[in-house]
A and B are shown apart, each in its own frame.
Chain A
Amino acid sequence: MMMESIKLTIDDTPVEVPEGTTLLDAAKGQGIMVPALCHMDLSGIGFHSGNASCRLCVVEVDGRRNLAPACTTLASPGMVVKTRTPRVLGARRINLELLLSDHPKECLSCIKSGHCELQDLAETMGVREISYEGAVSSHAKDTSSPSIVRDPSKCVMCRRCENICREVQGVGVLTAVNRGFESVVVTAFDRDLDQTMCTYCGQCVAVCPTGALSEKDDTESVIRALADPKKSVVVQVAPAVRTALGESFGMAPGTLVTGKLATSLRRLGFDYVFDTDFAADLTIMEEASELLDRLTRHLQGDASVKLPIITSCCPAWVTHLEKRFPDLLDYPSSARSPMQMFGSIAKSYFAEKIGVARTDMVVVSVMPCVAKKAECAREEFATDGNPDVDITLTTRELASLIKRFNIDFKSLPEGDFDAPLGESTGAAVIFGTTGGVIEAAARTAYEFHTGTSLTQVDFHGLRGFEGIRSATIDFAGINVKIGIAHGLANARVLMEEIRKGSSEFHAIEVMACPGGCIGGGGQPFHQGDEAIIRARQKAIYSEDKGKTLRKSHENPHIKRLYEEFLGAPLGEKAHGLLHTHYVDRSGKKTK
């Protein structure tokens, strides 16, 4: 069906847009950036928020008495719209000043300083004084979780967090309560976050315009570790970080900064600059073996085998499983996440190699994720109270650290990761995007199973941004059915099928964040620009393409690790160091 096109006038310019276009988007097409706060549109990855409550986007429409919110008003034929009359500018500013009047004035020391949409709005609207001095709502900070800090006194009631948590994640931790001046977004019964179903995915942090939601800042612990001469400080970086870090230094979205990243970490003073990608290859060795093991036993008629096998690298997903699907804990792969596999190998194999006691080694990870902070705090990932990964930073925290250490990131020379835990294949790189983990597993499982070499390693059927995708791969006569979900609400659909016994899949990949880790809660803020997330995905696939080795089992350092230390995948040693178990965290004593 052809969409009707609509002709209207915006600021004296004739404009033609498809039917159903909002005035906000119609104006944007003309390079007119109408300010918006409660509105955020990432429909390509399943998120749309906005209840036209902030009124910062108002415009004048000829023939209408009241100003109209551009974010929800649809273009109609012959409309005459004005976006910058004194009346419009004045109304917008009053609305903004009212919001600012009860906002805490701690901008200089706020964690969001420099990235705050409220600050940006104040600047673009030319606010120079706040004429209304209202009572400032005060609300206690919630620091109960290892990942996220809530400071509701900075909430401007845009309700983006509530919407993304409920609609995209299907978790529904956050809600607006009360009305009028007292209204604020909190958890049910104002409980601490660690007493809720929260998965720590951090998507609420990713969309919050202000400092009301933020990651727990762990940069100081890293600075202290780096300054301690008795410690060997090891750093590992996740694949998605290199696709986004450049944005924090004004580089174009999708710029790959792998080389500068390695150099910057060395300049920060890390003793060993390694790559989580190495451990991603290791994860594939274990996970692909597990997939084949379950598949073979299933085909031999073993009814006790649980299929589909589900990926387990995403910590928000794992937490969600444990809280929401305690009856299905036999399905996920027992493989630890790459970050935890790295920590485990660094503090055993590598520590032995360089003759350092595990207690004298500090493993720092840099992740696109805030849930990873909660993951590294899990007690099963520690030996005698000493964690395998000591500190986790987000991409944003690393950027902040680089700035604090006075490093001019953009002009850094290219560097490289150290051996042996810095070597990786293209299969590891694509872990950073939705569809990537299962594609990497397919490359290896196929070759393990068939004993033949894959000529075409690109599985295009597994790629994309669709919330739920599926594909069938022919493993020399066996049709392996693969499901992929990103966004926890999508994952729930696939899980309910398993619960009902109607799932047709052999393997499922789940990533909590829309787009996968590239859209992680710890990445530089996208501020509602979907193109940024797409550019990061492109960067991931181009890094994969540029690698000589693109299958995890071909990584020479991985081969060596098994020969020298681990034995065989799924073997006893591998099991102890690289696998884990899951616990019912639903809070239900009895079922």
Chain B
Amino acid sequence: MTFVQAKLSPTAVRELKSICQSFGNDKGELINILHKSQEFCGYLPPDVQEVIAEELDIPVSTIYGVVTFYSLFVMEPRGKYHISICTGTACFVKGAMDVMDEFKLLLGIDMGETTPDGNYSIDSLRCIGACGLAPVVMVGDKIYGRVTPDDVIGILDNYK
């Protein structure tokens, strides 16, 4: 049971509950349930977490703990084009922060934010295992390697 009434549409609530039920309302499947729910909603705002908590009969704080622990879960809607900049050790050393700054400057948003038109969002990532290509940037599923600040404008041109 949760404290705040979800402001989601009844259809959305029904869908979230059926996601939980498809995993047998098993608390042990929380990560998978959150995955599916994020696929469905695009992100995991408090209302969504409250519905899942109620359905699984666990405290909503438990869900919030998990959502904040794994960087793949987000609580804010992402842009149409989501840009992730690796800040793992190799990328960091090879200038990931300068690349990040260039994205921030050109898009006028900060890490974890989305442009007002809903098109772009940026975030940092931990090592994705492509250190040979450092520094690495991902847009959606596409990987860009050895990115310099000067490349940033060209990358953005691909997504309009």
- A-side interface residues toward B, CB under 8 Å? 162, 166, 171-179, 187-189, 195-197, 323-324, 586-590
* Interface stretch of the complex, out of B15-23, B60-68, B110-118: B60-68
B5 close to A (CB within 8 Å): yes
Which residues of chain A are within 8 angstroms of B65 by Cβ–Cβ distance? 175-177
CB <8 Å contact, A188 and B61: yes
Which residues of chain A are within 8 angstroms of B61 by Cβ–Cβ distance? 162, 166, 172-175, 187-188
CB <8 Å contact, B60 and A188: yes
B85 to chain A, nearest CB (A): 18
CB <8 Å contact, A166 and B64: no
CB <8 Å contact, A188 and B64: yes
B1 close to A (CB within 8 Å): yes
Bound-state CA distance A587–B5 (Å) is 7
CB <8 Å contact, B58 and A172: yes
> What is the interface of chain B mostly: helix, strand, loop, or mixed?
helix
Bound-state CA distance A173–B53 (Å) is 12
CB <8 Å contact, B5 and A588: yes
Q: How many A-B residue pairs have C-beta atoms within 8 angstroms? Tell me.
A: 54
- B-side interface residues toward A, CB under 8 Å? 1-5, 46, 49, 58-65, 68-69
CB <8 Å contact, B3 and A589: no
CB <8 Å contact, B1 and A586: yes
Bound-state CA distance A162–B49 (Å) is 18
Instruction: Give the residue name and chain of the A residue nearest to B126 (CB).
Output: A179
CB <8 Å contact, A323 and B3: yes
A319 to chain B, nearest CB (A): 12
Which residues of chain B are within 8 angstroms of A586 by Cβ–Cβ distance? 1, 3
Interface centre among B46, B60, B62, B63 (most CB of A within 10 A): B60
A187 to chain B, nearest CB (A): 6
Known: A166-B62, A171-B59, A188-B49. A587 touches B68 (CB 8 A): no
Which residues of chain A are within 8 angstroms of B64 by Cβ–Cβ distance? 175, 177, 188-189
Which residues of chain A are within 8 angstroms of B3 by Cβ–Cβ distance? 195-197, 323, 586-587
B123 to chain A, nearest CB (A): 14
Which residues of chain A are within 8 angstroms of B60 by Cβ–Cβ distance? 172, 188
A420 to chain B, nearest CB (A): 43
**New A-B pairs, 11, CB < 8 Å, besides A171-B59, A173-B61, A175-B59:** A162-B61, A174-B61, A175-B64, A177-B64, A179-B69, A188-B46, A195-B4, A586-B3, A587-B3, A587-B4, A588-B5
Which residues of chain A are within 8 angstroms of B59 by Cβ–Cβ distance? 166, 171-173, 175, 188, 197
Instruction: Give the residue name and chain of the A residue nearest to B60 (CB).
Output: A188
Bound-state CA distance A179–B5 (Å) is 29
Which residues of chain A are within 8 angstroms of B49 by Cβ–Cβ distance? 188
Instruction: Give the residue name and chain of the B residue nearest to A176 (CB).
Output: B65
A-B contact pairs, 16 of them (CB 8 A): A166-B61, A172-B58, A172-B62, A176-B65, A177-B64, A177-B68, A177-B69, A178-B69, A179-B69, A188-B63, A188-B64, A195-B3, A195-B4, A197-B3, A197-B59, A324-B1
Instruction: Give the residue name and chain of the B residue nearest to A197 (CB).
Output: B3
CB <8 Å contact, A589 and B62: no
Bound-state CA distance A324–B59 (Å) is 12
Which residues of chain A are within 8 angstroms of B46 by Cβ–Cβ distance? 188-189
A51 to chain B, nearest CB (A): 13
B108 to chain A, nearest CB (A): 25
